[in-house]
Each structure stands twice: as C-alpha cells, then as structure tokens.
A and B are shown apart, each in its own frame.
Chain A
C-alpha cells in the first residue's frame, strides 16, 4: 500500500488535571492512518479512544506529542473543515426538520442554495432517508436519526469521517443493518473513517485496521490489520477468518489488563 498518510500521531499524550490529581487520558500514542482506511478504536471505558478521536477533531488539545490531520494541525484541519464528526447521540437539532438538519453545516459553510438542495437530496439518498426531509427528528426511530446525523456529516466535502460510538445506543438488529450500510457507504465515498466502538464484532466487521487500546494510562496495546476482503456480507462473521481476528482483538484487550 502506498496510500498517503492522512492522520499521523507521534507520542501523543493528554493529561487532564482533576481534583484527584492528573488523569493520563492518553500516553505516548503513535499511529498512522492512511487515506481510505477504515480504522476502529476499541477498548474499555477510560482507554482514551474517544479522547484520541477528539484530539484529531481539535475538540481536545493534547498536552504533549504531535498530531497532524491532512498534514496540518488539527486546528487548521478543523478551520478548513477537513472532517465530518458523528457523535454518540445523533444530536439533531429538534427544531429543524431532517432536511434542515443536514442543511445546517452547508448554511454555516456558505454553500449556495441550489448546491445545498442538491447535496441534501444526494446524502439523504445515500443513507436511505429519501422522503424524510420534512420530518422532525422525534418522528424518526433512533437508527434513522443516527443515519440522518451521518448524512449531515457527509453533506460537505470532508474526506475524513470521525465517528464516536455512533451505534452504541442502538439495538443489535438495527446496528447490524447500519454496519452493513456504513460499509457500502464507505466503499462508495472512499472516505477515511475513524470509528470508536465498544463492540468486537462491529470493529472486526467494519475495519481495515483495528486499534486496541487499554486504560490507565490510555495507550495503544495492539494494532491489527484486518485481512477480510473488502466485500463483506453480514454472514462473513461466521467464517473462521473473522473469528480469528476477533480472537486476536480479545487477546489484545486482555493483554492490556483491561479487565482488572
């Protein structure tokens, strides 16, 4: 693979000062993410996976080390709107219809009205929500709301998609369905995706690269290249190859003393 590096972290550390003393959310984290990668971050609570993602997004500032996004600092990357961010809760604005929620970033970034309309139509089709443009968020199921929030992150031209446990609050069946859709979407859009999750099968099913993290201090304990083919039907999860990768992830989690 000769793809260019999109995100590069070197000895990244982030320490929160709290009343109970310093908390090492991240310690000496180094990682390269290549263009078009689908990278999952997995680990128990407190391992820093969300913090790492927030560092990439310039929502947190690391206390030591270097990180670049598209070759520039996360701050500059954010200013140039280099990524779309999907939060754990869909976070749609309740007073805006689905269409107007997707329009929000476009309004802020100053796209023309015609361009806005065209993009809304396209991304809502992409997440199978055509016809729901005029519905308000509360009229949609949790899974549909999360799809709308993905559409919102896809509406503008960011090559990177940062997703923080987007399906964490959804039930298994909906989650499977969305995972499958997300893979198709990734294949179609060729974006680089960073995906935080708690679920081993989800991480293995989705990723080209799985980053296993462990807590206290938050660090990377293993990076696993997923050898599964790009084309992944849901029943690939019953193959030996899949189970082998899942096993390695589980071993990695255990090695990080994450269950002590």
Chain B
C-alpha cells in the first residue's frame, strides 16, 4: 500500500501541474471577452481579430489578463482549486449545513448513482458468473453464447440506453431504477464473464487428473477445484466490473432526462453552461469508483490471504 503511494502521488502531482498550466491558454479567450465587456484594454480590440489570432499571441499580448483566467465563474477549464472548492461546497459543506440530502448535494446524487451501480453490479456479476459456468460446462453453449457476449459489447451503450428506458416504461416498469440497473449490468457482465471463464478453466491437467483418480463427480470437480481456482480471477474481474457498472449507471442517467444522479448533474451542467458542476460531478464519480475498487481490493486481499495465497 505505502509502496504504491509515492508513485501514485507523483503521477497525480504531474497531472495537477499540467492541468494548472493548461488553464491559461484554455481560458484566455473567455477572459478577454469578459474584459472587453467590462471596458478593459485588450489587444487585438476587435472580437473578429481575436478569433483569428493564435492562442499563444493572445497570451503574449495580454499578459496582465492571464491571471483572470484562473478566477472565472464559467471557465472553459476550471482550475483544480475551483473544482476542489466546488466539490467541497456540494459535499462536505452541505453536510455541515445539515443539507446532505438536498438536490444540490453531490452526496444525494452520488447515492442515487451508487444504488443503480449496486443493482447493476449485482445483476451483471450474476449474469457474468452464470454465463461463465454454462460456457465452461457445455461446449455447445460456449459456441453459441460467447460470440453474442462479444457482439453485445460492440453495440454502443449510449445508443442502447434510451431504447432500454423506452422499452421498460412500455413494459409498465415504473421509475428509472430498473432500466438504469439494466444498462449498468450490460457493461458489467462482460468482464466478469470473461474473467470467470478463464478462472474456471485455470486448473491444469494434473489437478484435473488427480480428481479423476479419485473418481470424483463433475460437481465435486467443480466445487472443490474449479471454483476455488477461479477466485483470484473473480476478484480481478469484479474490480473491473464495478467500475464498468458505475460508468453504466452514469450513462443510464445521461440520455434519459434523469434529474438526479451524477450523470444527470453532468448533463444539466452542460445544458446550463456551468462547467464547475460538470467537473465536480466527474470527480465525484471518479472518487466513488476509486472507493468501490479499493473496497473490493481489500476484500480480495483478506480473503485470498485466508486461503493461503500470497497476494
């Protein structure tokens, strides 16, 4: 854990530096437009000329306005500090004010998305594991199921999501919970299925022969050899699966006119031109994914340790 901390922090620091430096060129045009409206003295003065000028020349000719780009209300690219402040305003500060479940709180929206993620993850892993078991058990099912599973992932989920919403409401299912979970599971089942097929096939010929010499039944072979041998693979795919489920839940909120959930926050932020809302929702999603994957990783560590494996 501590061994990976330093490299991770180094990369994080590098990203922050690049991000911070990028704010100036990204925001200079917006800054200059605002300055003109406020009666400031910028070069070139005409909007058309500014449009044709290169970003570099704008920066060089208006050095005194660069700092202004780091403090815009509606920046093209907000600074890390702005995003951090916005995140705090919509999470921690909300809790302090006792408005944790307000519609403006990302905790509320995160919770909505988390619920869909959870149900999608549950459904997706169940389908994935069941699919893997069937595929490993039967050669016919392998040949008929696996190609469809692969094709399913080639269909863009963004195109599929609205149809799932429409169809499920047509089928009389109330609310967005179920279709969102379905969309989420659609992304989640595949890595789990692929990982579990690999895991259930992990035992080598000698380990299988050994059970044959005991005249073990197919069920015994499955439970005493294939399942335990697949556990390391299962956890690896669960970690990918839960991240995919979260992405699926957010995608499920995007094109569907949802008003709550992190995906809805991103969409509304876009429609109302509030980039800070988009960025803070994005970071909330990233942090949520990080927490979920870490939880699974710790579980894996503890469980495999108990099973005598060096993780």
A residues near B, CB below 8 A? 57-59, 78-81, 83-85, 87-89, 91, 93-97, 104-105, 107-109, 136-138
Residue of A nearest to B220 (CB): A108
Contact residues in B for A87 (Cβ distance below 8 Å): 206, 209-210
22 contacts between A and B (CB under 8 A): A59-B209, A79-B215, A84-B213, A85-B209, A85-B210, A85-B213, A87-B206, A88-B206, A91-B206, A91-B210, A93-B228, A94-B309, A95-B228, A95-B229, A95-B308, A95-B309, A96-B308, A97-B308, A104-B214, A107-B224, A108-B216, A108-B224
Contact present for A94 and B214 (CB under 8 Å):
no
Cα A88 to Cα B215 with chains together (Å): 20
In the complex the two chains form, is A109's CB within 8 Å of B214's CB? yes
Size category of the B interface is 20 to 34
How far does the alpha carbon of A178 sit from the alpha carbon of B310 in the complex, in Å? 28
Closest to A136 in B: B308
Distance of B229 from chain A, by nearest CB (Å)? 8
For the residues of B in contact with A, the DSSP-based class is helix
User: By the criterion CB–CB under 8 Å, are B213 and A83 in contact?
Assistant: yes
Write out the residue numbers on chain A whose beta carbons fall within 8 Å of the beta carbon of B307.
95
The answer to whether B220 touches A94, judged by C-beta atoms less than 8 angstroms apart, is no
Q: Which residues of B contact A (CB under 8 A)?
A: 206-207, 209-216, 220, 224-225, 228-229, 231, 307-310
Chain A: minimal CB distance from B203 (Å):
9
Q: How far is the CA of A63 from the CA of B220 in the complex (A)?
A: 29
Complex interface: chain A residues within 8 A of B308 (CB)? 94-97, 136-138
* Residue from A79, A80, A88, A91 in contact with B207 in the complex, judged by beta carbons closer than 8 Å: A91
Q: Which 5 A-B pairs have the closest CB atoms?
A: A136-B308, A95-B307, A85-B213, A108-B216, A91-B206
Chain B residues lying within 8 Å of A91, measured Cβ to Cβ, are: 206-207, 210
Q: A104 vs B215: C-alpha distance in the bound complex, in angstroms?
A: 12
A96 vs B231: C-alpha distance when bound (angstroms): 13
Query: Are B214 and A81 closer than 8 Å at their CB atoms?
Result: yes
Would A81 and B215 count as touching, CB distance under 8 A?
Answer: yes
Cβ–Cβ contact A108 & B309, under 8 A: no
- A94-B308, A97-B308, A138-B310 known; A108-B210 Cβ under 8 A: no
For B211, list chain A residues within 8 Å (CB). 108
Bound: A51/B231 CA distance, A: 33
A59 touches B212 (CB 8 A): yes
Bound together, the chains give a CA A84 to CA B225 distance in angstroms of: 18
Whole-angstrom distance between the Cβ of B305 and the nearest chain A Cβ: 10
Residues of chain A lying within 8 A (CB to CB) of residue B209: 59, 85, 87
Q: Provide the residues of chain B in CB contact with A59, threshold 8 Å.
A: 209, 212-213
Chain B residues with Cβ below 8 Å from A58 are 212
Task: State whether A57 and B213 are in contact (beta carbons under 8 Å apart), knowing that A94-B308, A96-B308 are contacts in the complex.
Answer: yes
The answer to whether B207 touches A93, judged by C-beta atoms less than 8 angstroms apart, is yes
Asked if B213 contacts A104 (CB within 8 A), the reply is no
